[in-house]
Amino acid sequence: MFRFVRSGLSIKAVKLGSKQRLDTIWVPSARLWNLKTFTTSSIVFKVCPVKTPNFPESITEGDIRWLKKVGDAVKTDETIGELETDKTSLPVISPVSGVIKELIIPEGSKVTKGQILCHVEEQAQSAEVTAPRISLETVKPSPVVQSEGPKKETKDTSSMTAFSQSERIETRVPLNRMRQTISSRLKEAQNTTAMLTTFNELDMTSAFLIRNKYKDRLLKDYGVKFGFMSIFINASVHALKSQPMVNSVLMKNEIVQRNYIDISIAVSSPKGLVVPVIRDAHNMNIIQLEKAVAALADKARKNALTIEDMEGGTFTISNGGVFGSMLSTPIINMPQSAILGMHSIQERPVAINGKVEIRPIMYLALSYDHRLIDGREAVTFLKRIKDSIEDPSIMLMGF
Q: Residue 162 has what pLDDT?
A: 56
Q: Residue 147 has what pLDDT?
A: 41
Q: CATH top-level class for 47-122? A: mainly beta
Q: What is the CATH number of domain 187-397?
A: 3.30.559.10
Residue-wise pLDDT tens digits, 112-169: 888 899 999 886 544 344 444 444 444 444 444 444 444 444 454 444 455 666 788 8
| CA-based nearest residue to 312, from 280, 346, 360 | 280
Amino acid at 331: I
DSSP for 141-179? Answer: --HHHHH-SPPPPP---GGGS-TTSS-------PPPHHH
Angle between helices 205-222 and 229-242 (to 10 degrees): 120
Segment holding 250, helix H or strand E: strand 249-251
Q: Residue 365 has what pLDDT?
A: 98
Known catalytic residues are 370, 374
Integer angstrom CA distances of residue 134 from 11, 129, 138, 223, 347? 17, 12, 8, 54, 72
Q: Residue 149 has what pLDDT?
A: 47
| CA-based nearest residue to 49, from 105, 106, 90 | 105
Amino acid at 263: I
The ranges assigned to domains in the chain are: 47-122, 187-397
Strand 263-265 vs strand 315-319: parallel, antiparallel, or unpaired?
Answer: parallel
CB 261 within 8 A of CB 237: yes
What radius of gyration, in Å, describes the C-alpha atoms of the chain?
30
Count Cβ atoms below 10 Å from residue 98 Cβ, excluding itself: 21
Q: Residue 109 has what pLDDT?
A: 86
Segment holding 382, helix H or strand E: helix 375-390
Distance CA 353, CA 339 (A): 32
Any idea what DSSP says for residue 314? S
**DSSP-based three-state secondary structure for 205:** helix
Segments of the chain with pLDDT less than 70 = 1-45, 57-58, 87, 123-165, 397-399
pTM value surpassing 0.85: no
**Which residues are CB-contacts of 150 (< 8 A; sequence separation ≥ 6)?**
none
Count Cβ atoms below 10 Å from residue 28 Cβ, excluding itself: 13
Distance CA 57, CA 79 (A): 22
Strand 21-26 vs strand 338-342: parallel, antiparallel, or unpaired?
Answer: unpaired
Q: Residue 89 has what pLDDT?
A: 77
CA atoms within 13 A on the CB side of 58: 10
